[in-house]
Amino acid sequence: MGWHNSDLPWRQMEQLLSGEHSDPGPLSRKREREPAPEIERPPDAVPYAELHAHSSYSFLDGASFPEDLLAEAERLGLTALAITDHDGFYGAARFAEAAEKLQVATVFGSELSLGLPPQNTTQGGSPDPPGEHLLVIARGTEGYHRLSGAITRAHLRGGEKGRPVYDLDDLAASAEGHWTILTGCRKGAVRRGLARGDAATPLRTLIDLFGRENVAVELIDHAGPLDTRDNDALAELAALHRLPVVATGNVHYAVPERARLAEAIAAVRARRSMDELDGWLPAHGAAHLRSGDEMTARFARYPGAISHGLEIAAASAFPLRRAKPALPTQKVPEGRTPMGHLRHLVWEAVPGAYPDLTAEGGSASSGSSP
């Protein structure tokens, strides 16, 4: 993989890497949506809610569009799907729009990047980007608004794109019981503590900050050599602290065929060739969506891991349209619409605001719209 390649649109590169390439003909700069194909949902699907999934809006991390994740979730018969992109709801509108014609319930969350370095090195130039992750699931519209506000404040504190600065006390105050905290992936504080030999201390910190009733221990099984050992240790820790365990897929792409694209994206993020990055890549292409039947079989040794996830999804899911702001109704003169009255006021103010504007330049000296 070199750095002086010929011009190739990203969409074509994505198709080549995912094995979907065909000659698309001339490409328009405007994205044109094709009608979504009908998806046959299995009638006997085993209930399962996926609560940890990244879309392509997790820049240079996720490898599937939100609508592709949803389509696969519907095909598999999932009960609910959470999009938990990094530090924002960038794909939320697209996710919600695609879900309106499907039966999969939509859950909204985000994986927050804590403890980033002073300079903007959050995503690029490193095989393993810095920062510690905190996975937050919003409970309903109130949780969504609270999480959105907390993320906005973090970005304003950071002062530069891609470097949010979170304050744990602010996050705890923002939550007030409206979030569910999952212990997350290997970059979460609890799994990092597990690798160091002390997962209990960071887990107690989460309990102290967000409350025992709002924390769940996340179990992930990608068939890695240490997955069962780690999950056993985490399940034991959860029982000790009277916390539920929740199974997730830590999803980064919809289907197994996208694993190659995900590897290429990781190389772009790290600014390294595929060969140079090889030692940092997972030894499997397992970060894809799975059916409830498969997840139930994978986590059979952990009672409640599937049912607890379904309970969290039931308490959290909502259609995004419900979160739209309730704007006040404006009084306007009889016979005018709000937009028509606004247009009238604008043209009425033009002569005073632009006294030197000529007729050729579009002056509205009469004080009314043309």
Give strand ranges (E) for 13-145.
Answer: 49-50, 80-83, 105-114, 132-138
Which helix H or strand E contains 187, and what residues bound it?
none
Q: What integer pLDDT is reported at residue 268 of this predicted model?
A: 72
Q: What integer pLDDT is reported at residue 361 of this predicted model?
A: 55
Is it true that domain 43-323 has CATH number 3.30.70.980?
A: no
Q: What integer pLDDT is reported at residue 367 of this predicted model?
A: 43
Question: Buried (b) or exposed (e) across 17-35, using 16+ Cβ within 10 A?
Answer: bbeeeeeeeeeeeeeeeee
Q: What integer pLDDT is reported at residue 283 of this predicted model?
A: 58
Q: What integer pLDDT is reported at residue 260 of this predicted model?
A: 80
Domain with CATH 3.20.20.140 in the chain: 43-323
Q: What integer pLDDT is reported at residue 86 of this predicted model?
A: 94
245 pairs with which residues across the strands? 217
Rg of the chain over Cα atoms, rounded to whole angstroms, equals: 24
Q: What integer pLDDT is reported at residue 30 of this predicted model?
A: 46
Residue segments in the chain with a per-residue pLDDT below the cut of 50: 1-6, 21-31, 121-122, 363-370
Query: What pTM was estimated for this model as a whole?
Result: 0.78
